[in-house]
Amino acid sequence: MKNKCFILSVLLFLYTVGLCAESSIPAYQYPQYEEIQQELASGWNTWNTRSILSFVSLPEGFAINLAFKQHYWLEEQYLKETLIGRTGERAEIIRPGPHTYDGSFTRMDIKWETLEARIESAHHQNDLVILVTPKEKPPSPVKLIIESGMLWNTPGLLSKKENHLSAQFTHHTIRVFCTHPHIDDPYVETLTPYLSVVLDQPIGISTGEPRSIEQIKEIIRQQEKNLLLKARKFGELAETYIALQSGIAWNLIYEPKYRRAVSTVGRLWNEEYGGYCLFGWDNFFLAYVAALDNKNLAYANVIEHLRSKTDEGFIPNDDRGNGSKSFDRSQPPVGSIMVKEIYKKYPEKWFLEAIFNDLLQWNRWWPQKRMNDGLLSYGSHLTANPFNEPNVHTKITAGYESGMDDSPMYENVPFNPQKNTLELQDVGLNSLYIADCNALAEIAELLGKKTEAAELKKRSNLWRKKMETLWNPETGFYLNKRTDTGEFSLRLSPTLFYPLLARIPNLERSQRIIRDHFFNPSEFAGDWILPSIARNDKAFEKQRYWKGAVWPPLNFLAYLSLRNYPGTKAQQILSEKSHALFLNEWKRKGYVSENYSSITGTGDDARLSSDRFHSWGTLFGIIPFIEKGYMPPPEKKWAHPLN
């Protein structure tokens, strides 16, 4: 009987492997990936997207939520949930600090009402400790409210017993202790058991067993030391590494609909979009950044993003927690480019097999839906609109597909509803598409998919020839071209460097592009680079959004482009200046901003429209790690066989 069971187990295993090899099951159902998610979505972390001060234990779903109650002579204020980057007269002001991916160490500072405090957390084996240290005794009394909670309808029994909280599960119990006695306050705005303590001195919280303030401080010191030791291996980039990890980790959440740990661009976006938001090109970038030293998170971010794919076969502009997504538009095709680089760092065959068909389907979608007189244009098409999204099949949503929503490149360019595209053959889009074909062809060859590899190479070569129609010898640049008038557009953006990423120009042309445009102070050169529109453009002074601000994805893709044509200092300069933008803002305010001023170099310039803590800001920070050789050289082919 035992032998028969063993044989059946082997057959079942081989059957599962066979299914995986043929990609007949979704990537997120691969057994290797299910194991990855099991490892990621476990333990204490700031998993709850609604508040960075909600410390959650997985898989239980038990939360310790820190809230604050401000007492005045007449009124009371209550801060139940805390987020980074909120604005408004009475909004909390957060300075984020270090945050490890696994939540083993976090630190942040808060200003709210009369409270100024530092909040730190750390792991001790399976326990969590938290230290709340007010800068000084608040002039008006403030209480720290330690709320218990069971998130996402997970089962558990909550109670308050004497001076501690208790969460009881089928096989174990989690107890939460505080270094200060509970002060009874029946008017706390919570529906679950809680502890209430006056916040006039350092307060310690611990699970598992009662601990003193000194014991809690020692655990925190040890975990901070562990982080610093890990960062030290990156030498002069040690502080950048901490900022880089924190820029991703503060926005790493547990998403209960699909029971997954996943990186998001920002919690404010998640709040607005019904629980989570995954953006078309953003989340592929986040996967690559995580790949610096976290294989599991890199793989998860790719696979969970591909789960967003529409029935038409494309990755949508956004995929929202409320169930809606962008059914009419995609975003720039960077998926295969990033996947290839992640695989070079972590070469596991199943990963490529799991995601290849999704990437191929998306690649085929572009010429099916966005052809415009022989080349691609950004667009938006009529399709199912179950959530009645406004502006579908418009110039606005075509701009969203570009990822550069209101870029001056698209000003006065009409949207053609018959073609479903802007009347503009886009240099950036077509270059990225060629690079996508090339990357996916390499992946196909590694997987032994000769037919698909040939198809992709053929498409790449065809597009390369068509790109010749966009070369403008007068300016020495590949230029966007109007399909309604036949005229070149002179609205210059860093996307015009992307032909270098696709290896389109010969050496002479590449040198001219770099010399006449990258190093041109009237266009892109300067203290803070690269502006999203040339400095001599009439829109540059506005700086708001894509009208002149410096954007992480543009610098990142331009940097990858420059690496294909060494021999100038452009690559090094862009790395150094991107690094300075990133690290200066982190040191100044703890921000990892959505975009930065190309005039002041800050992420909170009044002219900007910029989320103060937006994960793709880490693209500035990853560039110097590529430059220093901590990531595989993007311009090089595979240095190892397929595992």
pLDDT (tens digit, 9 = 90+) per residue, 230-275? 999 999 999 999 999 999 999 999 999 999 999 999 999 999 999 9
Residue 291 located in a structural domain: yes
Same-domain status, 470 and 392: yes
Rounded distance between C-alpha atoms, residue 146 and residue 68, angstroms: 9
Domain membership of residue 154 (yes or no) is: yes
269 with 226, same domain: the answer is no
- 175, 278: one domain: no
Report yes or no on 585 lying in a domain: yes
Cβ(393)–Cβ(381) below 8 Å: yes
Edge to edge, the sheet with strand 164-168 lists 93-99, 105-112, 115-124, 127-134, 203-207, 173-178, 164-168, 157-161
The answer to whether 324 touches 387, Cβ cutoff 8 Å, is yes
Closest listed residue to residue 264, CA positions, set 293, 289, 286, 244: 286
* Same structural domain, 218 and 317: no
Question: Is residue 440 in a domain?
Answer: yes
Residue 392 sits in a domain of what CATH number? 1.50.10.10
Q: Which domain holds residue 446?
A: 259-627
Q: What is the mean pLDDT of each run of 10 residues along the chain (643 residues)?
A: 40 38 79 98 98 98 98 94 95 98 98 98 98 94 97 97 94 97 94 97 98 98 98 98 98 98 98 96 98 98 98 97 96 98 97 98 98 98 93 96 98 98 98 98 97 98 98 98 98 98 98 98 98 98 97 98 96 98 97 98 96 97 98 85 52
135 and 272, same domain (yes or no): no
Count of alpha carbons within 13 angstroms of residue 18, beta-carbon side:
6
Summarize pLDDT for 367-387 with one digit per residue, the tens: 999 999 999 999 999 998 999
Together in a domain, 170 and 302: no
3 state DSSP class of 511: helix
Q: What letter does residue 616 receive in the DSSP assignment?
A: G
Does residue 608 form part of some domain? Answer: yes
